[in-house]
Amino acid sequence: MSSNSTTAEELAGLSATTLLRFATAGSVDDGKSTLVGRLLHDSKSVLADQMEALEHASRSRGAGGPDLALLTDGLRAEREQGITIDVAYRYFATPRRRFILADTPGHVQYTRNMVTGASTAELTIILVDARNGVVEQTRRHAAIAALLRVPHVVLAVNKMDLVDYREPVFASIAEEFTAYATELGVPEVTAIPISALAGDNVVEPSARMDWYGGPTVLEHLESAESGDRAASHSSRFPVQMVIRHDGERYYAGQLLTGRLRVGDSVTVQPSGRVTTITSLDVLGQPADVVSAGSSLSVRLSDEIDIGRGDMLTSGPRPPRITKEIEATVCHVADTPLTVGQRVLLKHTTRTVKAIVEDIPSRLTLDDLSQHPQPGRLVANDIGRVRIRTAEPLALDSYADSRRTGSFLLIDPVDGTTLVAGMAGDSFAAVAVASDADADGWDF
Amino acid sequence: MSSRHIDMVASDFSVLSHLDALESESVHILREVAGEFERPVILFSGGKDSIVMLHLALKAFAPAAVPFSLLHVDTGHNFPEVIEYRDRVVAEHGLRLHVASVQEFIDNGRLRERPDGTRNPLQTVPLLDAIESNRFDAVFGGGRRDEEKARAKERVFSLRDGFGAWDPRRQRPELWQLYNGRHAPGEHVRVFPLSNWTELDVWQYIEREEIELPEIYYAHKRLVFRRSGMWLTAGDWGGPADDETVEFRLIRYRTVGDMSCTGAVDSDATTIEKVIAEIAASRLTERGATRADDKLSEAAMEDRKREGYF
């Protein structure tokens, strides 16, 4: 396989590869750390001094060979307690692509870490143990991937060696998971039978599962489409700051969705004033057209009062200009969120005062049951909220745009990030109601 | 400056190259800080990562000037080539440079020299003193998450308490690209715009942008001696000891730090192309090959960060 014959020349020469951000979810017992260790090791991303340190650590813990799971253990606090307490970012590359991996633990109390990792991921790998199949935790991971609208989901059915590499075991797990994820609105599921420990179908195709004709995990990572193709084609350019020079004003920011062209008519949100783009500059290079993802500066034909927090928009679907927000939130702090609480809301480059008007329901991710009027949300809760802001926002639904449909609620006193919010309806699917309480399911 | 910006891979959808994506993300971070903080400062050592960070800042705010000053924590064990480079860059771009001097702290008794002569761990006190006396509220560091295990778990916006300390368990979750920089008076935020860059990305970007570096990054002949498996430059800082012998070798520096604990590697890479090929083929990590201070213990960086280090 190409990735295994990586040469320095290949890696050094390919400076124009793309970047894929992905996340992993699963518990220690599912072999997640071993899978990540295997990906890093077999793609030759573990270097000699790291391998030496790994072998040393494995020996001191009484392991026979190098324990690949130790590669992803970071902090002393974690090693001492044998747990993963946070999101760790890993970097590796093949000649085809650069990867940024958000490695998140799978314990129930770490929903917030999985949500954090998934928020920037274009792909997520969910692990299950082939002996146990789809369990409560798997459903929770699928729900988070669906909630955060991660474009690609990979189900890695691990420990196939412990079920004698039998196809029916894999097929029934893949079928059950795919049905569940599809119901939640996950647009694409790829199921792969693997053994992280033995290396089957992680980087190298397995000789012991000739019934499987699909890609290995790494092959799939190399070929999955990057970028958020589901994102709205309408353009969103939040202004980060105004750069003033020689009497000229340059509006600096990152184009989050769509395109901008010189000559385009754009609306300044939330004021609604309309003006025209006279020039675009991508970090020193003048451009006629700029695509999503670029940081740039824009000049406009009219002298309008525009500052940080305003947004230039164009295209067929304008954002909603609103002070009333309904959203799904994941609570990420140790202090609760309560009805009536005054908070700050950070949306793109705009931070405004806001009040939590209602918390209509809390959601249990394991079975998607909802609990009406919980009164408050605590760490790792997922719930629906209704928020009123002091100033209008130019808001998209999260389903249309992850960057302009997301927000944070912040404690105005100590600055704590309280919740991660996603505007609009949460799951794309329509049929979830059948699994929920009879009194109505609005997720 | 040459750069290829948008690689069209589909008729109606374009994906940035990995260098363009990393550059855009870093510029976004720099501008967020400019938009939300009162007194940001860039930690500038004259090492390649801080040089790339400054280059990104120059691009982010052009045609206007960089709205931040620079802070160099000077261990007193500097490579003269690096100091010369630092002063030239500061003059060229009309920047303001603050220097926090470890030597001064030793001279006035606020710090004591370590028995091993290493001054890297001593940088924390002058750094925190400079942050406090200048009331810096955002401090840009060139740290990358691929460097080291503790860094792999730190946020882009890393809240530090009044003692500059990092508490891995009290970090704010960082979602999407929404950075929360709110902090209480006396606290500050360390910001790492290069969090997602790898060593190879940094070098490829230096090549693409034709960024000048201090010459010690390229292969040259130098008097060095062997200590803890690394080639150290002889100098006033205390090396070599009586039982260490000096040799004239062809080497280059892969990182630039305190002379007493930054090792050179054997190399004939005299050009950027050769450096990139060398790094891509290297079997050692950057810190593993060149940093004595990280060999002190398995959790050396974690411990120093908790004390307020970079």
ipTM of the complex: 0.89
Q: Which domain holds residue A351?
A: 320-435
Q: How far is it, in rounded angstroms, from Cα B162 to Cα B23? A: 31
Question: Is the CB of residue A151 less than 8 Å away from at least one CB of chain B?
Answer: no
- Asked if A334 has any chain B CB less than 8 Å from its own CB, the reply is no
* pLDDT digit string, tens, across residues B247-287: 899 999 888 877 777 888 889 999 999 998 888 777 666 65
B223 and B170 in one domain?
Answer: no
Domain that holds residue B191: 6-201+300-306
Examine residue A443 and state whether it is found in any structural domain, yes or no.
no
* CB environment B125-140: b (16+ within 10 A), e (fewer): bbbbbbbeeeebbbbb
Contact yes or no for A252 and B31 at CB 8 A = yes
pLDDT tens digit sequence for B212-259: 999 999 999 988 888 877 888 877 666 787 788 888 999 998 888 777
Please tell me whether residues A324 and A378 are part of one structural domain.
Answer: yes
Q: Tell me how many domains chain B contains.
A: 2
Both B266 and B190 in one domain: the answer is no
CA distance to A33, A109, A125, A229, B156, per residue, from A104 (Å): 10, 12, 11, 25, 17
Are B96 and B186 in the same domain?
yes
Residues A288, A306 share a domain = yes
Which residues on chain B are in Cβ contact (under 8 Å) with A348? 178
Looking at residue A161, what DSSP letter applies? Answer: G
User: Would you give per-residue pLDDT tens digits along chain A (443 residues)?
Assistant: 333 334 554 554 455 688 999 999 876 678 888 888 888 877 766 666 666 666 666 666 666 556 656 665 556 666 665 555 568 888 888 888 999 999 887 565 578 888 999 999 999 999 999 999 999 889 988 999 999 999 999 999 999 999 999 999 999 999 999 999 999 989 889 999 999 999 999 999 999 999 999 999 999 999 998 765 555 579 999 999 999 999 999 999 999 999 999 999 999 999 999 999 999 999 999 999 999 999 999 999 998 899 999 999 999 999 999 999 999 999 999 899 999 999 999 999 999 999 999 999 998 887 788 899 999 999 889 999 999 999 999 999 999 999 999 999 999 998 999 999 999 987 644 334 333 333 333 33
Q: Which of B149, B137, B113, B158 is nearest to B40 (CA)?
A: B137
Do A63 and A132 reside in the same domain of the chain? yes
Nearest-by-Cβ selection for B3 from A98, A285, A293: A285
User: Is B102 in the same domain as B161?
Assistant: yes
CATH number of the domain at A267, please: 2.40.30.10
pTM: 0.89
A residues 211-230 near B, CB within 8 Å? 226-227, 229
Residues in chain A closer than 8 A to B4 (CB atoms): 16
- CA of B2, closest CA in chain A: separation in Å? 9
What CATH code is carried by the domain that includes residue A15? 3.40.50.300
**Does B171 lie at the interface with A, CB-CB under 8 angstroms?**
yes
The label of the residue with tokens 């389903």 reads A399
Take residue B235 and report the two structure tokens written for it: 């100098």
**Domain end (from A314, A348, A380):** A314
Task: Pick A403's closest partner by Cβ from B153, B174, B177.
Answer: B177
Same-domain pairing of A262 and A291: yes
| Contact criterion met (CB < 8 Å) for A295 and B60 | yes
Whether residues B15 and B100 share a domain: the answer is yes
- B87 versus A36: which is more confidently predicted? B87
Residue (of A217, A224, A195) closest to A207 by Cα position: A195
A283 and B284 within 8 Å at the Cβ level: the answer is no
Picking from B16, B180, B208, the nearest residue to A15 by CB comes out as B208
In terms of domains, do A254 and A402 share one?
A: no
> What pLDDT sits at residue B22?
96
**B38 and A CB contact within 8 Å:** no
Mutate to test the interface with A, among B31, B32, B144 (most CBs of A within 10 A): B31
Please say whether the beta carbons of A383 and A357 come within 8 A: no
Question: Is residue A181 located within the same domain as residue A45?
Answer: yes
In a domain, residue B241? The reply is: yes
A108 SS3 class? helix
In chain A, which residues have their Cβ closer than 8 Å to the Cβ of B169? 77, 85-86
Q: Specify if B105 maps to a domain.
A: yes
Give the residue from chain A lying closest to B1, CA to CA.
A284
CB proximity B283 to A under 8 Å = yes
Burial of B80 (0-12, 13-18, 19+ CB in 10 A): exposed
Of A163, A193, A223, the one marking the end of a domain is A223
Q: Does A90 touch chain B (CB under 8 A)?
A: yes
Which chain B residues are Cβ-neighbours of A89 within 8 angstroms?
Answer: 145, 152-153, 195-196
Cβ-based neighbours of B282, under 8 Å, separated by 6 or more: A47, B289
Q: What is the CATH number of the domain that holds B95?
A: 3.40.50.620
Do B24 and B75 belong to one domain? yes
Same domain, A90 and A188: yes
Q: Are residues B54 and B197 in the same domain?
A: yes
B179 assigned to some structural domain = yes
The predicted pLDDT at position A438 comes to: 36
* B166 and B242 assigned to the same domain: no
CB contact under 8 A, B60 and A252: yes
Residues A7 and A132 in one domain: yes
The answer to whether residues A215 and A279 belong to one domain is no
Same domain, B40 and B123: yes
- Residue at B221 is within a domain: yes
Do B101 and B147 share a domain, yes or no?
yes
Give residues 103 to 162 of B whose Cβ lies within 8 Å of A: 145-146, 149-150, 152-153, 159
Q: Does A244 touch chain B (CB under 8 A)?
A: yes
Whether residues A69 and A200 share a domain: the answer is: yes
**Cβ of residue B16 closer than 8 Å to a chain A Cβ:** yes
The structural domain count of chain A equals: 3
Residues 6 or more apart whose Cβ sits within 8 Å of residue A7: none
Q: Encoding tokens for residue B263?
A: 């090792």
Q: Would you call B173 and A115 a contact, using CB atoms and an 8 Å cutoff?
A: yes
In this structure, is residue A201 part of a structural domain?
A: yes
Is A202 part of a structural domain of the chain?
yes
- A88 closest CB neighbour out of B9, B64, B153: B153
| Distance, CA of B150 to CA of A125 (rounded, Å) | 24
The answer on pLDDT for B164 being more than 90 is no
Tell me if chain B has a CB within 8 Å of the CB of A430: no
Best mutation target among A228, A295, A296, A348 (most B Cβ atoms within 10 Å) is A295
Domain boundary residue, one of A273, A290, A314: A314
Residue range B105-111: mean pLDDT, rounded: 87
Question: Exposed, middle or buried: residue A337 (CB in 10 Å: 0-12, 13-18, 19+)?
Answer: buried
* In a shared domain, residues A44 and A166: yes
| Yes or no, beta carbons of A294 and B16 under 8 Å apart | yes
* pLDDT class of B4 with cuts at 50, 70, 90: very low
Q: How many residues does chain B have?
A: 310
Instruction: Say if A228 falls within a structural domain.
Output: no
In this structure, how many other beta carbons lie within 10 angstroms of the beta carbon of residue A199?
18
Q: Nearest 5 degrees, angle CA A252-CA A393-CA A443?
A: 120
Chain B residues 56-75 with CB within 8 Å of chain A: 59-64
Q: Are residues A210 and A240 in the same domain?
A: no
Instruction: Let me know: does A252 contact A300? Beta carbons within 8 Å.
Output: no
Q: Tell me: do B250 and B155 sit in the same domain.
A: no
Tell me the average pLDDT across B196-211.
94
Q: What DSSP character marks residue A176? A: H
| B208–A91 C-beta distance less than 8 A | no
pLDDT, greater one: A83 or B132: B132
Helix (H) or strand (E) holding A240: strand A235-245
Q: Which residues contact A153 (CB under 8 A, 6 or more apart)?
A: A123, A124, A126, A142, A145, A181, A186, A188, A189, A190
The whole-angstrom distance between B243's CA and the closest CA on chain A is 27
Same domain, residue pair B291 and B221: yes
Is B209 within the bounds of a domain?
no
